Structure 1
Amino acid sequence: MTGRNDEGAGMAGGKSPTADTDVLVVGAGPAGLATALQAHAHGATVRVVDRREHRVRPSRAMMLHARALEGLRPLGVTEELLNRADTTPEARIHLGRRTVEARLGHADLPDTAFPHLTLVRQADVEDVLWQALHARGVPVDWGVEFRGLFHGLTAESGGVPALSEGPVHADLQDVHGGRGVHRSRFLAGCDGQSSTVRGLLGAQWRGGPYGVEAVMADLELDGSLDSGLLHVAVGQAGLVFLFALGEGATWRMLATRPAVPSPDARFGQLGPPVPAEEVARLVRESGLGAAVREVRWSAQIPLQHRIASTFGNDPIFLAGDAAHAHSPAGGQGMNNGILDALNLGWKLGFASTAGRPLPELLETYGQERRLAARRVLALTHVIFFGEASPHPAARLARNVLPLLAPALPMLLRQRWLTSKGIRLLAQPFVHYRNSVISRDGTPPAKAWPRPGARLPDASVSVDGKLVRLHELTSVPGIHLLLERDAEPVASAALRTLLPAEGQGPLLHVHRLTSHPGQGVVAVRPDGYVGFRCGETDPVQLRAWLRLVGAAPG
């Protein structure tokens, strides 16, 4: 059962769908595609379905941050993403009659290979991820809607039946009305803010709507705006952004305006077009000194701040906008969904191939990512309050900001300030130190980050060659970093821990001759430290590997 395009064959007469898989991903946005790619890279068979008939759609997000790029690097897609991106963006901030230049592509961040803001269309991100899945033979079927679950012979539309004893039976319907059942071990709901999967779980959708909404438009403008820059206009009513990244025209506009409450609002979705005169008013009142010549496309987007009361449990999980909804402030939405995917995908992959239940591992997804989402939601809430809130305090701050314009150039020339801002958007506050799979051995290897912390990039020596840590860990799987004097028995004892025949190795051992000591550090597939120990004790190491499904039970 597939959609009507050339990316899949059609289903006739409601016959059975394609072969069953370990993982069924519902939703082919960035979170769904990245979940599929990460799960497949770690041993799972995967299928993706999306109710959209067409793969290409207007972009809502326009930015990737360093942590998302680091996590995607082992999946082999980062280079193509950067080929389509602007990695040296410069902004012109318009404060009434004054303008301030800000360079955003030259941050002083030595612990990452991506020390910059990266402007890239969501459509390009989705296309790169889809092409990677296509090259690996992972089906992505368009025009196929997830309708609910079958339990026995009855379709379930609410409340999750006791499925841990057997596969998930997904009720799917294609654009022709054909119905079928797809069986999978796991179901990943990446189906957006109006998620069918979230409703099936019965998860509460906590939060509320914002009093403002976003307006997006692709425009042709008259005026002297430099198309090589990101333009930001700060006004009493809010911010207006203009990027030369339009998909149907030269310019993409993102602006905010007061929202009109509606019971039919489709939060986070592209709504109806905005009248051309309203788009022209937003540009005119921004003070950017440009006039709208033509509106090629526009949409209003109701905004909300919400988080699901649960991110799921075995065998059904939520990721991306199905699990949390943000304002567009700080460009966090697409990034946070990708980070969900990178966390969930490897766990589903290992759980699919372990040959035994891994309840502790699977429970860590919700434990880790829900706390991370709450922190990111708090950050975006604060930023959005300053950018767009109609609250008198926020309006006053935006009115005062032009008075500070003479001092801003000097501040923005301080690279430490730019670096701190870019680092903040890359979520340095997200860690998994309290996770049950973040373990310190005895004695701990204190020279390394604590378990649950991100592994920073750094120069190291391996067999006399100078390399970067993130270069070493740039292939899927778990990476064991042995210090220079570590007992060689560690690598010999782990030779049995390769996956089934036909798959690439998912356990990699590197001896760092630049790091004296006898310890070992295990790096998770999503780039976080999982285990560290001051000695290469095979008992402790194998216990952690068994916990995450990388060693026999």
Structure 2
Amino acid sequence: MAAPTATDVLVVGAGPTGLTLALQTHDHGARVRIIERRPDAFRPSRALILHPRTLEVLRPLGVTDALLELADTAPTVGLHLGSRIVEASLAHLSLPDTAFPHLSLMRQADVESVLAQALADRGVTVERGTELVTTRDDKHSAWAVLRSQQGTEEIRCPFVVGCDGPASTVRVCADVGWHGRPYTEEVVLADVDLSGNSGRSGAQVFAGRQGLLFLFPLGERAAWRLLATRASAGGSELDFGQPGPAVPYADLQRLLSDAGLDARIERLAWSARVPLQCSLAARFRRGRLFLAGDAAHNYSPATGQGMNAGIQDAVNLGWKLGFASNCSEGEAAGGLGNEVLLDSYDAERRAAAHRRLVLTHTVFWVEASTGRIPSWLRAVAAPRTAPAVPILLDRRRLVAEGIRFISQLRVNYRHSALSVDGRPRLRGAPRPGDRLPDAAVSVGGPPQRLHGLLAGPGVHVLLQRDATAPPESVLGSQVTVHRLRNSPGRGLIAVRPDGHVGFRCGTADAAGLSDWLSLIDATASP
């Protein structure tokens, strides 16, 4: 018989996805426990980029200031196209509807440190050296066996979430299929000190026939982090997405030379091969077991999706588990609203993951494939078109739209069961399921930014200037109401905790709002 616990959500894995999920779930009323089989935090970092949308969804958790203090928010990139070098800035992009109009270069290790500290500040400690042995859905609860130096422990809790990577134990125990294939290319990572690099300080990208080579000034054990693609050296026993054997010095130097870089490795501090795959779980939920991040989808590193996609998964799922955990015991056992809420995670995030898989696969083919066409594009076409690149980069709106696309600012959940349009429709407002854009608003006093106003947990209801306020009986403890005095009209918008519009109506329809809040269980008391 399993011992009783005070846990609503067991999070398995303490990378960026698991840490974010624990924070989001905790801040929406659930009692959370997070375990990690590794005794120490994983080092060195694999991910190095935070996207604007990721910073947006993390903002209500109160961690963005700490993240930005450690990030390079004005990164520059030198694009080496044959003999020509094109300088590009990824700061101050033409993205007026976000508070973060830039890419941010930041080590995954620093992201994890900030998130772990935020959890610790809430009284939640990562249980390192604790492994999930097995888990299953028992219909009315989840059952799990944990193993640590203290011994074996059995627990029951409402929900278990696998944030435990491509070889996810939770996914295996849930008997969820894993569809995809390995790439014939691999990534090489290394921390190096270089000589003869012309004193360049920003990120550098070299396009060659064998693939792309990146140099980031973010090495953890040396000045530069090298990331290169090449044909896979084999080794089926290696774990996909995980650093494997070290790469010989001569191989790394050859990669630099083949890329046309006139530099020598003065010191090699660390290196690893990383085998890659392109895979997607058949579902992200089975009963009370859920998958997020690399346990649910695995990409190439093209466009920097891995860490960002996992964090965005976690923010989507975390508030739903928090709200579901706050239901009464009878509702949690299978009330209609609860099931609609929990099913929406798979419906929303798996569709987004599939689109992202297509994006990363296409870009990685151009970046890394050694086939005739992509090799020609990198080695011949790119240098020939280099004179036109500065002209394209000067078109700031064009560059911004590219960043908007890859950073998932355009992701919407319009077909979700949680996206409801009231009657009459509120014209000129984001559609249900769309991300709510940032804008200047007035709620009394000096103007402020909308996303700053909503930077807190829970549901936020935005009333137009002349709208009737909903009665208190409609609102739960997780709902905050704001009146936008610079928005004429009588309508309202209900914004989900992940920043997407859930409900809108051209009038302040209290009954419609109440039905939507009941659908997501936001009327439940924590």
- Give the TM-score taking structure 2 as reference length: 0.96
**Partner in structure 2 of residue 169 of structure 1:** 143
Q: 1:423 aligns with which of 383, 398, 404?
A: 404
In 2, are the aligned partners of 1:491 and 1:509 still within 8 Å (CA)?
no
SS in 2 for 1:271: coil
**Partner in structure 2 of residue 494 of structure 1:** 474
Q: 1:394 aligns with which of 363, 374, 397?
A: 374
Q: Please give the per-residue CA displacement for 1:413-465, whole angstroms capped at 9, x wherever unaligned.
A: 22122212211221134210000010001111122101000000011111243
| CA distance 1:26–1:408, shift in 2 (3 Å) | same
Pairing 1:440–2:426 present = no
Q: Please give the per-residue CA displacement for 1:332-361, whole angstroms capped at 9, x wherever unaligned.
A: 110000000000000000000121231110
Amino acid at match of 1:402: P
In 1, are the aligned partners of 2:5 and 2:157 still within 8 Å (CA)?
no
Q: For residue 169 of structure 1, report the CA deviation from its aligned partner.
A: 2.1
Q: Following the alignment from structure 1 to structure 2, what is the Cα–Cα distance between the partners of residues 483 and 119? A: 38
In 1, are the aligned partners of 2:9 and 2:158 still within 8 Å (CA)?
yes
Q: Following the alignment from structure 2 to structure 1, what is the Cα–Cα distance between the partners of residues 200 and 463? A: 49
Q: Following the alignment from structure 1 to structure 2, what is the Cα–Cα distance between the partners of residues 229 and 222? A: 15
Runs of 4+ in 1 over 4 A off after TM superposition: 16-19
Structure 2 counterparts to residues 1-40 of structure 1, below 5 A: 19-40=5-26
Pairing 1:335–2:321 present = no
Structure 2 counterparts to residues 375-390 of structure 1, below 5 A: 375-390=355-370
**Partner in structure 2 of residue 113 of structure 1:** 99
Structure 2 counterparts to residues 404-483 of structure 1, below 5 A: 404-483=385-464
Pairing 1:82–2:68 present = yes
**What is the percent sequence identity of the aligned residues?**
51
**Partner in structure 1 of residue 325 of structure 2:** 352
Q: For residue 55 of structure 1, report the CA deviation from its aligned partner.
A: 1.9
Q: For residue 491 of structure 1, report the CA deviation from its aligned partner.
A: 4.7
Amino acid at match of 1:385: W
Q: Please give the per-residue CA displacement for 1:360-416, whole angstroms capped at 9, x wherever unaligned.
A: 100000000000000111111111111111121111111211111122122212212
Amino acid at match of 1:164: K
Structure 2 counterparts to residues 144-543 of structure 1, below 5 A: 144-149=130-135, 160-161=136-137, 163-165=138-140, 167-174=141-148, 176=149, 178-355=151-328, 356-357=331-332, 358-399=338-379, 400-488=381-469, 490-494=470-474, 497-498=476-477, 506-543=478-515
Amino acid at match of 2:238: A
Amino acid at match of 1:486: A
Q: For residue 17 of structure 1, report the CA deviation from its aligned partner.
A: 8.7
SS in 2 for 1:408: helix
Q: For residue 93 of structure 1, report the CA deviation from its aligned partner.
A: 0.8
In 2, are the aligned partners of 1:313 and 1:366 still within 8 Å (CA)?
no
SS in 2 for 1:362: helix
**Partner in structure 2 of residue 47 of structure 1:** 33
SS in 2 for 1:465: coil
Amino acid at match of 1:62: L
Q: For residue 537 of structure 1, report the CA deviation from its aligned partner.
A: 1.5
Where does structure 1 lack aligned partners over 5 or more consecutive residues?
Answer: 1-15, 150-159, 499-505
Structure 2 counterparts to residues 86-105 of structure 1, below 5 A: 86-105=72-91
In 1, are the aligned partners of 2:210 and 2:375 still within 8 Å (CA)?
yes
Q: Following the alignment from structure 2 to structure 1, what is the Cα–Cα distance between the partners of residues 323 and 342? A: 10
Amino acid at match of 2:498: D
Q: 1:59 aligns with which of 38, 42, 45?
A: 45
Pairing 1:136–2:117 present = no
Where does structure 2 lack aligned partners over 5 or more consecutive residues?
Answer: 333-337
**Partner in structure 2 of residue 13 of structure 1:** none
SS in 2 for 1:224: coil
Q: Following the alignment from structure 1 to structure 2, what is the Cα–Cα distance between the partners of residues 298 and 321? A: 22
Q: Following the alignment from structure 2 to structure 1, what is the Cα–Cα distance between the partners of residues 486 and 296? A: 42
Q: For residue 70 of structure 1, report the CA deviation from its aligned partner.
A: 0.3
Q: Following the alignment from structure 1 to structure 2, what is the Cα–Cα distance between the partners of residues 390 and 132? A: 43
Q: 1:548 aligns with which of 511, 520, 524?
A: 520
Amino acid at match of 2:342: L
SS in 2 for 1:21: coil
SS in 2 for 1:124: helix
**Partner in structure 1 of residue 335 of structure 2:** none
In 1, are the aligned partners of 2:462 and 2:481 still within 8 Å (CA)?
yes
Amino acid at match of 1:137: G
**Partner in structure 2 of residue 501 of structure 1:** none
- Give the TM-score taking structure 1 as reference length: 0.91
Q: Following the alignment from structure 2 to structure 1, what is the Cα–Cα distance between the partners of residues 104 and 419? A: 30
Q: Following the alignment from structure 1 to structure 2, what is the Cα–Cα distance between the partners of residues 118 and 95? A: 23
SS in 1 for 2:351: helix
Q: Following the alignment from structure 1 to structure 2, what is the Cα–Cα distance between the partners of residues 251 and 329? A: 19
SS in 1 for 2:389: helix
SS in 2 for 1:246: coil
In 1, are the aligned partners of 2:55 and 2:64 still within 8 Å (CA)?
yes
Pairing 1:69–2:55 present = yes
Range moving further from structure 2, 474-483 or 95-104 = 95-104
SS in 2 for 1:183: strand
Q: For residue 164 of structure 1, report the CA deviation from its aligned partner.
A: 2.0
Q: Please give the per-residue CA displacement for 1:161-180, whole angstroms capped at 9, x wherever unaligned.
A: 5x122x32211111x37111
In 1, are the aligned partners of 2:4 and 2:156 still within 8 Å (CA)?
no
In 1, are the aligned partners of 2:182 and 2:277 still within 8 Å (CA)?
yes
